[in-house]
Structure 1
Amino acid sequence: MTSPTISAPATTSPSSQTQSSAGPTRSVALLVISSLWMVIFFASLFAPPLLDDADATHANAARNMVLTGDLVTLKVNGIRYLEKAALPYWLDAISFRIFGFNTFAAHLPEAIGVLLLGLLGFHWSRRAYGDRTAFYTGLMILTSTGVFLFTRIYIPEVLLTLFLSISLYCLLRALENPSPRRSLHAYTMWAALALAVLTKGLVALVFFFGAAMIYLLLTAQWRNLSRIKPVTGLLLFLLIAAPWHILAGLRNTGGMNGHGFFWFYFVNEHFLRFLGKRYPKDYNKLPGYLFWSLHLVWLFPWSLFSPLAVIQGWRLRKRSAAANSFASNTTWLLGIYAGLVLVFFSISTNQEYYTFPAYLALLTLMSAAVVLSEKTYDQDQASRRWITVAHATYTIIGLAAAVALGYGLWSSRKLPFVPDIGELLAHRGVGDYTLSMSHFFDLTGPSFAALRLPASLAALSFAFGPAIAWLLRSRRRHLASTTTIALSSAIFLIAAHIALIRFAPMLSSANLAQKIQKLEDDHLVSRDSQILLFGDQAYGSSIPFYLGKIVYLVDGRSTSMLFGSTFPDAPPIFLTHEQLLKSWGTGQRKILFVPLEKRDEIDLLLGNNKVLLAETSGKALFTDRPLDHPLNHQ
């Protein structure tokens, strides 16, 4: 196979086989994409407050960076937190320094990452496939369910996806011949790859080099390795990625069984996690049928067009392999990369969001397939049939969802609005949930009384959006049809965010932190009261963030706190049941947070020897003595 030659952007090559039909101008497309980002992602930065578990835990690590100035060793609640790479916390720390310790600042870097991912998808698709595909790619990235859902909490997946996608794009640009900016693209590739490693660890190298090697072998471009500056580029990579890893290893030695950062981060968090033998074992693995089928949900509504991507890709496999254009090279690389990510996590332990790095690749390929099918809509019966099937499925799903939501609204029409939706949900053994979306199974019919506005918006979106999009498609108004799907999805995502705000009392303990602050302000409790969390810190991780204090953990030497607690300089914040009983009612006032999952356990332990301060969604604040009299503090 010959080396690829540079191909001009599809916008200037009408004869290109994969060029899209005319789309909106670049300025109009970018305006629409930016507006969608503003209403879906930027507007959602202010509420709800930080959620318990990973969201507030990661924010606590970044807060510690700001307060201590230690940019090397991550700490949560004073305990080493060595399982994560540092870059996302650096970005959060910068945001906190600018905007203060609040929800907006905590989630801003991730929201910017979504915008940059959408703009990268637009730019890459525009060069490879043309204006309309670029516009569709931007729309799909911003309105896919999974992209929205998995950026409601601060996890590094969107940043990892961004840096890996930049690396892959620059790989293709560096391999072009001739390319006046080949060196710039090559070094940008290595720099972005280093940032990806600093975001998520060695898995970034697996995905990039795995996809790159397969691509180079299949296209016979391994002969052009010199174009990506392997020697000087690798030096640049090490210059960016190595210092933090080295410093973290040198500063964190002498933990459990003599292990330090190097063992815990590289061996335990990478290799043992992949094998399902990570210590401690606090992750589940999705069953195979769920792992694969749930991608229809994470990429909804655009996943309905995935058969088109398979059909068009199969038809063009030989022609695109021989073309050696930027479009064909993009198709090959993105297909290989997405497949590698999906297969890797189908073998490894996984959470629902782990395959996020494949989203841009999959959505770009779907966008190209949809545009190609639109071009041949009148001539190609197979394309027209599958587009019709996608629209019919979308309309049926939409009507079914609208009916279900309408029934829920009707059945709850006489029920009063209850601000704390947690009181309306089934109180199951949610403490056993280890998958991120498990709490959705706790929704019950009466909860619609608290969700009337978002349920109404979602019902309207599902009832009319899919049908209007299908009608426009049948009239050959393809651009309007696809845009209507994106706008309908945007309305649904806005409704979903409003619903998330209503869930805040259940998913966050920020209101209980505010209760403690109010009691302190009213001089009903002393500001030097000891704050304790019963159970793992993840149950109430938003409390130490909003209070700005280190809290004590009762029976909480577990999960992310376990390894860090074995270092000799770990603060003595861990209490046993016996130590709690011994100190309860003596010395400083104790204020104890108890999650729903532990209420029965604390009742058995303390009995009636406790004073209830507040309760929300089954979570409670107890203290060990009556409240102070304000006059005592004057």
Structure 2
Amino acid sequence: MTTPTLSAPLVSTPFSPPELSSGPRRATALATLLSLWLVIFFTSLFAPPLLDDADATHANAARNMALTGDMVTLKVNGIRYLEKAALPYWLDAISFRLFGFNTFAAHLPEAIGVLLLALLGYHWSRRAYGDRAGFYTGLAVLTAAGVFLFTRIYIPEVLLSLFLSTALYCLLRALDPATILSGRYAYAIWAALALAVLTKGLVALVFFFGAATIYLALTGEWRNLGKLKPVTGFFLFFAIAAPWHILASLRNTGGMNGHGFFWFYFVNEHFLRFLGKRYPRDYNKLPGYLYWSLHLVWLFPWSLFAPVAVIQGWRLRNRQQSVEGSSFPAKTTLLLSAYAALVLVFFSLSTNQEYYTFPAYLALLTLLTAALVQAERLYNDDAILRRWIVAAHAIYTGIGVAAAAALAFGLWSSRKLPFNHDIGGLLAHRGVGDYTLSMSHFFDLTDSSFAALRLPAALAAVAFAIGPAVAWWLRTRRRHLASTTTIALASTVFLVAAHIALVRFAPMLSSADLAQRILKLEDDHLVSRDSEVLIFGDQAYGSSIPFYLGKVVPLVDGRSTSMLFGSTFPDAPHIFLTHDELLKDWGTGQRKILFVPLEKRDEVDRLLGNKKIPLAETSGKALFTDRPLDRP
């Protein structure tokens, strides 16, 4: 039995059959990766509309930038939004100016970020572990469940992952004696790190310098720090990262208790958030067992091969030779392992949400796919690795059969039921407001609501029923490249089906259709264009309303969460109304159109009683007005 060593590249040797370790040609590999990105990510840019909560909230901040030209102070619905770094919003603002205020423009920068991350993974892994490993890494990035799921809304994690991974790669290249242009790589480190800070804040420095310190200490390459241009590189970093932070601090003073941007962004959003004492306290912490185990879902289907990577890592535990002077593959493995471990441990201690560990995905997927390539190369000679690969396929096929059977049962049960586009109106709504996990509402599916998901359910059933079985069969035939590629293709079909399902859920997850209803009433002269539109509750309940209406929308009982700190500045517009103010103004002055989320329906019924006139309803969300419609 052959035992791999860390210093040995995971590529073909003169004694290895080419089909066991070679990969597709570079042009073929890149064409395949680009095709998968177009199918999975580019085609999904056009629908669904922007979702309520974070998605449309962030788009609103970028829209304000694009319209006002103020690239320093983020504002949402006219209120300062000081908790986020600016770079993602700059990119969105540019996209809006180029393509208009729509879903495509809002999500385009993030989709491009996914493509660049996959290409970086391909290039890095190919250089470290060989052609096949590079191809597998690109496939894994594009088809991992978490990468897809956490890019359905505009959050900065994929951009943070791209910049940090770029900085780590350039660190290795700058220290590599074989690198001719090490100085350029050194400056690229500082530039990428500055962009990472402008994307997510100081946590980028923690992850990079933490991983770099571990790596330099274990390899002894701290002696070569001069190659990293620490002095001139720091000035480059400062020149890129500092101006926005300085301007934001100077322009945003005098908020709550005299605090401004500096306290809220650096102290509150960094240190107090880590300690779970952020103001306001509106963030959760996943239970430990969920935090760790859910990564098997986020990295699925590639997480199935985690035991293969663990076995290979365990075999290297007693390695005696010094890491110093070892090969690029060994250094890559060490750096990525240290970085991924740091990210995972950091957020296990901090407050967290499911997607916070996204920056570790590329590192983890690279290590998984590199281990898979090595296991494929040793498949005939290493019985232990072979058994674990077979076990992974057995589990994958079992999951596929179970999922296909469940989907087939749902399709059969709903075969005679009519299609209803408003799937949200058909859901059971058990425990509404208590869901904190992604896609939790899928647990509320009934036969009637399942009828709206026939097409995506059928696609997913086919993918689960055929893909895993074919991949296993190909593996038994020693056709490893075809087997692993089949896993990626099956995942692609499933992700396409998942996106179609998300579009069907749009009436429930977005209020864009109600915003369009208001615009239609205005076009038909049934309501005046100067009617006052209001949201009952936090702006996150209907954040797509102000985006698609293109105006500030007052909030009733909505001075909370992301709106709270910005509302304490003396120049904040008066958009926060109390219940008494709503009752006083209801039916007087300009027409009022009130958006009411499902969670607030009972409260509004008690407050307004029969004084409200319904205009529209979808997925439990409703529009009410205070007087009959105008005559056209």
Alpha-carbon separation, structure 2, partners of 1:302 and 1:572: 51
Q: Verify the 8 A CA contact 1:113 1:162 in the aligned structure 2.
A: yes
Alpha-carbon separation, structure 2, partners of 1:194 and 1:582: 51
Instruction: Work out which of the residue numbers 344, 347, 353 in structure 1 matches 2:346.
Output: 344
1:194–1:97 distance in 2 versus 1, CA, 3 Å: same
Match for residue 270 of structure 1? 270
Alpha-carbon separation, structure 1, partners of 2:369 and 2:499: 26
**Secondary structure in 2 matching 1:353:** coil
2:210 aligned with 1:195, yes or no?
no
- The alpha carbon displacement at 1:321 in A equals 3.3
Instruction: Work out which of the residue numbers 617, 622, 625 in structure 2 matches 1:623.
Output: 625
2:484 aligned with 1:446, yes or no?
no
Alpha-carbon separation, structure 2, partners of 1:383 and 1:460: 29
Match for residue 544 of structure 1? 546
Q: Which amino acid aligns with 2:359?
A: P
Alpha-carbon separation, structure 2, partners of 1:105 and 1:313: 43
**Secondary structure in 2 matching 1:321:** coil
Alpha-carbon separation, structure 2, partners of 1:165 and 1:549: 38
Alpha-carbon separation, structure 1, partners of 2:251 and 2:78: 15
Q: Verify the 8 A CA contact 1:117 1:162 in the aligned structure 2.
A: yes
1:253–1:528 distance in 2 versus 1, CA, 3 Å: same
- The alpha carbon displacement at 1:315 in A equals 2.1
Q: What's the CA shift string for 1:257-315, capped at 9, x where partnerless?
A: 11000000011101111111111111111000000000010000010001111111222
Q: How does 1:345-360 map to 2 (within 5 A)?
A: 345-360=347-362
Identity %: 79
**Secondary structure in 2 matching 1:430:** coil
**Count of residues in Structure 1 that have an aligned counterpart in Structure 2:** 624
Match for residue 407 of structure 1? 409
Match for residue 33 of structure 1? 33
- The alpha carbon displacement at 1:15 in A equals 8.7
- The alpha carbon displacement at 1:439 in A equals 3.2
Q: How does 1:186-335 map to 2 (within 5 A)?
A: 186-317=186-317, 318=319, 321=323, 324-335=326-337
In angstroms, what is the RMSD of aligned CA positions?
Answer: 1.8
- The alpha carbon displacement at 1:429 in A equals 3.6
Q: Verify the 8 A CA contact 2:12 2:21 in the aligned structure 1.
A: no
- The alpha carbon displacement at 1:438 in A equals 3.6
- The alpha carbon displacement at 1:446 in A equals 2.9
1:540–1:276 distance in 2 versus 1, CA, 3 Å: same
Q: Specify every segment of 5 or more residues in structure 1 that has no aligned partner in the other structure, as ranges.
A: 1-6
Alpha-carbon separation, structure 2, partners of 1:300 and 1:436: 15
Q: Which amino acid aligns with 2:231?
A: V
Alpha-carbon separation, structure 2, partners of 1:560 and 1:20: 53
**TM-score normalised by length of structure 2:** 0.97
Match for residue 481 of structure 1? 483
Q: Verify the 8 A CA contact 2:460 2:493 in the aligned structure 1.
A: yes
Q: Verify the 8 A CA contact 1:51 1:504 in the aligned structure 2.
A: yes
Q: Verify the 8 A CA contact 2:8 2:329 in the aligned structure 1.
A: no
Match for residue 168 of structure 1? 168
Q: Verify the 8 A CA contact 2:63 2:96 in the aligned structure 1.
A: yes
Match for residue 592 of structure 2? 590
- The alpha carbon displacement at 1:12 in A equals 9.4
Alpha-carbon separation, structure 2, partners of 1:14 and 1:234: 45
Q: Verify the 8 A CA contact 2:10 2:373 in the aligned structure 1.
A: no
**Secondary structure in 2 matching 1:303:** helix
- The alpha carbon displacement at 1:361 in A equals 0.2
Match for residue 494 of structure 1? 496
Alpha-carbon separation, structure 2, partners of 1:84 and 1:230: 27
Instruction: Work out which of the residue numbers 368, 379, 382 in structure 2 matches 1:380.
Output: 382
Q: Verify the 8 A CA contact 1:20 1:129 in the aligned structure 2.
A: no
**Secondary structure in 1 matching 2:416:** coil
Alpha-carbon separation, structure 2, partners of 1:188 and 1:564: 36
- The alpha carbon displacement at 1:448 in A equals 1.1
Q: How does 1:541-620 map to 2 (within 5 A)?
A: 541-620=543-622
Alpha-carbon separation, structure 2, partners of 1:297 and 1:550: 39
Q: What's the CA shift string for 1:28-86, capped at 9, x where partnerless?
A: 00000000000000000000000000000000000000111000000000000000000
Q: Which amino acid aligns with 2:48?
A: P
Alpha-carbon separation, structure 2, partners of 1:285 and 1:340: 18
Match for residue 3 of structure 2? none
**TM-score normalised by length of structure 1:** 0.96
**Secondary structure in 1 matching 2:611:** coil
Q: Which amino acid aligns with 1:308?
A: V
Alpha-carbon separation, structure 1, partners of 2:29 and 2:98: 31
Q: How does 1:412-423 map to 2 (within 5 A)?
A: 412-423=414-425
Alpha-carbon separation, structure 2, partners of 1:140 and 1:180: 31
Q: Verify the 8 A CA contact 2:20 2:480 in the aligned structure 1.
A: no
- The alpha carbon displacement at 1:426 in A equals 1.5
2:410 aligned with 1:396, yes or no?
no
Q: Which amino acid aligns with 1:340?
A: L
Alpha-carbon separation, structure 1, partners of 2:81 and 2:307: 43
Match for residue 140 of structure 1? 140
**Secondary structure in 1 matching 2:595:** strand
- The alpha carbon displacement at 1:434 in A equals 4.1
- The alpha carbon displacement at 1:447 in A equals 1.7
